[in-house]
Amino acid sequence: MGNLVAIVGRPNVGKSTLFNRLTKTRQAIVNEQAGTTRDRQYGKSEWQGKEFSVVDTGGWVVNSDDIFEEEIRKQVVLAMEEADVILFVVDVMNGVTDLDMDVADILRRSKTPVIVVANKTDNNNLQYNAAEFYSLGLGDPYCVSALSGSGTGDLLDLVLSKFRKEAGELIDEDIPRFAVVGRPNAGKSSIVNAFIGEERNIVTEIAGTTRDSIYTRYDKFGFDFYLVDTAGIRKKNKVNEDLEYYSVIRSIRAIENSDVCILMLDATRGIEGQDLNIVSLVQRNQKGLVVVVNKWDLVEDKSVKVMKFFEDAVRKRLAPFTDFPIIFASALTKQRIFKVLEAAKDVFQARMTRIPTARLNEALLPVIEAYPPPSNKGKYIKIKYITQLPNTQIPSFVFFANLPQYVKEPYKRFLENQIRQRWKLSGTPVNIFIRQK
């Protein structure tokens, strides 16, 4: 299970600089795959072979000029609820401020481990200044310079040592894991209740491994899957519900622990920025996607034409990834909610698809012959052989070519679409690699 590190602190102490420092290498790779730079506040980090997520909670504040104490307080509370380790960043050049003290007052009650990061320690003399951070009552301050990177290696060692020990996973890996995600009020709890109903006996809660229970087993009506909890689903914290970015942070863990994400949209509101952030998280974690246009009961004109209009609009907003099922449903009337589960099941299957090498070559080589990659600098590019990589999270295909560097994005997309159409891979991301033969 993924660990989550949250960065908190008042403005200008260097949170986003530290975030960039911790996520740098990984970020580049991830961005290349998903083609997005939207959510710079969320990233993956890797240290000593261990991968974990980092969130700059301050980065989610839409207008940082308007930042006020209450907002920071809420971020800190959220980090305490959601993260495995909190990095409390302070500024060695400025020393302790009132706002630092306020944050520390909250953090001292935290059950989540807190590390005081004395940032901007650009030289040894500044280290002596850090001593004043003992007054925060949160243990040893850790001196780093996010700008130069000095001290960040030791900091990461410390972060790793604070992660909870992973208990053996109690869940059955062959059974799909679905997460219901979306903005507040999209209908997440309603649809989960519609699935589970009052019949609490049909579900088994699995005791959490590194966190409180996160998987709920559902085994009825021919379905067998785990519902992966978004923290918000069961214990709604009304204080935070009004702030949309909380829904994104809350979704991170559920998305990371799922195979397929069911994104709930509110038909009466359409797609907004937070939906795009969530979709981006789904893609960057290479999870399957089903989009539910919920509250369909509230839409008066339910004609095919209107549905088509909705569908096109959704796909256009979520481009370049457009090949996923869209279900028009109502959690309230339960219209088509089982279709949602069917779709999620199909996407799970698509994710697991294994195509024999012979099939791939039989089907695709003639198409490639008929529509070869455009020649580059007078050089003729030939794809000779295709195979699917074994043991990957999502279907991943390698095309062996004489001059792989000349096969460009549009042609890769063409190849991907050929595979998608032929083998019905709707809802799952697909990797296409071109390698030297």
Q: Is 37 exposed, middle or buried (0-12, 13-18, 19+ CB in 10 A)?
A: exposed
Query: Which residues belong to the annotated binding site?
Result: 9-16, 56-60, 119-122, 182-189, 229-233, 294-297
As measured in angstroms, the least distance from the Cβ of 88 to ligand GDP is 11
294 contacts ligand GDP (rule: CB under 6 A): yes
How far apart CA 344 and CA 324 sit, in angstroms, is 10
Q: Which is nearer to ligand GDP, 16 or 280 (CB)?
A: 16
From candidates 274, 330, 388, 426, binder to ligand GDP by CB under 6 A: 330
153 contacts ligand GDP (rule: CB under 6 A): no
As measured in angstroms, the least distance from the Cβ of 370 to ligand GDP is 47
Phi and psi based region of residue 388 (left: phi greater than 0; alpha: psi -120 to 50; beta: remaining): beta
From candidates 141, 176, 187, 429, binder to ligand GDP by CB under 6 A: 187
Query: Which residues belong to the annotated binding site for GTP?
Result: 9-16, 56-60, 119-122, 182-189, 229-233, 294-297
250 contacts ligand GDP (rule: CB under 6 A): no
395 contacts ligand GDP (rule: CB under 6 A): no
17 contacts ligand GDP (rule: CB under 6 A): yes
From candidates 182, 373, 395, 427, binder to ligand GDP by CB under 6 A: 182
How far apart CA 218 and CA 204 sit, in angstroms, is 7
Whether the Cβ atoms of residue 429 and residue 422 lie closer than 8 Å to each other: no
Phi and psi based region of residue 187 (left: phi greater than 0; alpha: psi -120 to 50; beta: remaining): left
Looking at 150-272, list the stretches that DSSP marks H as alpha helix, in order from N- to C-terminal side. Answer: 152-162, 188-196, 231-234, 238-241, 244-256
Looking at 174-320, list the stretches that DSSP marks H as alpha helix, in order from N- to C-terminal side. Answer: 188-196, 231-234, 238-241, 244-256, 273-284, 304-318
389 contacts ligand GDP (rule: CB under 6 A): no
As measured in angstroms, the least distance from the Cβ of 175 to ligand GDP is 24
Residues paired with residue 88 on neighbouring β-strands, in sequence order: 8, 116
Residues within window 102-141 making contact with ligand GDP, judged by CB under 6 A: 119-120, 122
Q: Is 65 exposed, middle or buried (0-12, 13-18, 19+ CB in 10 A)?
A: exposed
151 contacts ligand GDP (rule: CB under 6 A): no
Name the one range near ligand GDP by CB under 6 A: 39-47, 97-105, 143-151, 279-287.
143-151
Q: What angle do CA 179, 183, 185 make, to 5 degrees?
A: 105
From candidates 3, 27, 145, 388, binder to ligand GDP by CB under 6 A: 145
**Secondary structure letter of residue 92 according to DSSP:** T
Binding residues for ligand GDP, rule: CB under 6 A, are 9, 11-17, 58, 119-120, 122, 145-147, 182, 184-190, 294-295, 297-298, 330-332
